[in-house]
Amino acid sequence: MFIGHFAVGFAAKRFAPRASLGLLIAAPLFLDMLWPIFLLLGWEHARIAPGDTRYTPFDLYDYPWSHSLLMAAVWATAFALIYFGGARYKAGAVAIWIGVVSHWVLDWIAHRPDMPWYPGGSARVGLGLWNSIAGTMVVETVMLAVGVGLYVSATRAGDWIGRYAFAAYVVLLLGLYVSDRFSPPPDSMNEVAWVGAAAMVVMLPWAWWFDRHRDLRANVAAAARG
Ligand SMILES: [Zn+2]
């Protein structure tokens, strides 16, 4: 699952409008932010295996610290508490908690049975949407459309950055999604980890940036009423 996670972050803005989109997207991506780090540290393992599912060329055989349900709940709670400690915004904390856990649920839908319940457990679950290329792309594209639609229903551009940096972001996401699908498998998991980490470093501040240049529609309406 790729753009489906971004969709959750966009949608969350509707329910926690005062939280930055950068954080609301960081939450559903959080397990995939940890994963490259844990791969590079050698704490988790995966290998290139074209055909593992029809959609993805990775055999994700060992990632209990980033991708078990128990750890997802632990990371969610830690992220939400730290956020609440700083921001004191309950809706934002709830959106972040749900966002982090949603990653596990969406990966569970997409992955073949490779998702652990908890570190050390031997059971693996996954519904295997990735066995269908068309099914995966339809589900994720529809999710992104709904998520972006909810975001637009909650905010509107305050200036050109709020309009065009936002539009470029969505276009880039779709472009990355399609090119990822049609590019050959990478050479090594290290390459995957570095590219994944680099993508986070760009995509999260970018979301924070254009979100600051968009006004909450609720505020605009209140101002108009005077
Ligand atoms: Zn994941």
d(CA 131, CA 48): 16
Report CA(86)–ligand 1 centroid distance (Å): 27
Report CA(122)–ligand 1 centroid distance (Å): 19
Is residue 1 very low, low, confident or very high in pLDDT (cuts 50, 70, 90)? confident
Using the predicted structure, report yes or no on whether residue 226 has a pLDDT greater than 80.
no
Taking only the tens place, the pLDDT of each residue in 89-148 is 999 999 999 999 999 999 999 999 999 999 999 999 999 999 999 999 999 999 999 999
Report CA(104)–ligand 1 centroid distance (Å): 7
For the whole model, what pTM was predicted?
0.95
Neighbours of ion ligand 1 (CB under 5 A): 32, 107
The Cβ-side half-sphere exposure at 161, using a 13 Å CA radius, reads 10
Report CA(149)–ligand 1 centroid distance (Å): 23
3-state SS, residue 185:
coil
Report CA(212)–ligand 1 centroid distance (Å): 27
Rg (CA), the chain: 18
Which residues 6+ apart lie within 8 Å of 9 measured at CB?
21, 24, 25, 26, 27, 28, 29, 99, 147, 207
Report CA(223)–ligand 1 centroid distance (Å): 41
pLDDT, residue 51, reads: 87
Is residue 180 very low, low, confident or very high in pLDDT (cuts 50, 70, 90)? confident
Is residue 210 very low, low, confident or very high in pLDDT (cuts 50, 70, 90)? very high
Q: Which of 142, 140, 208 is CA-nearest to residue 169? A: 208
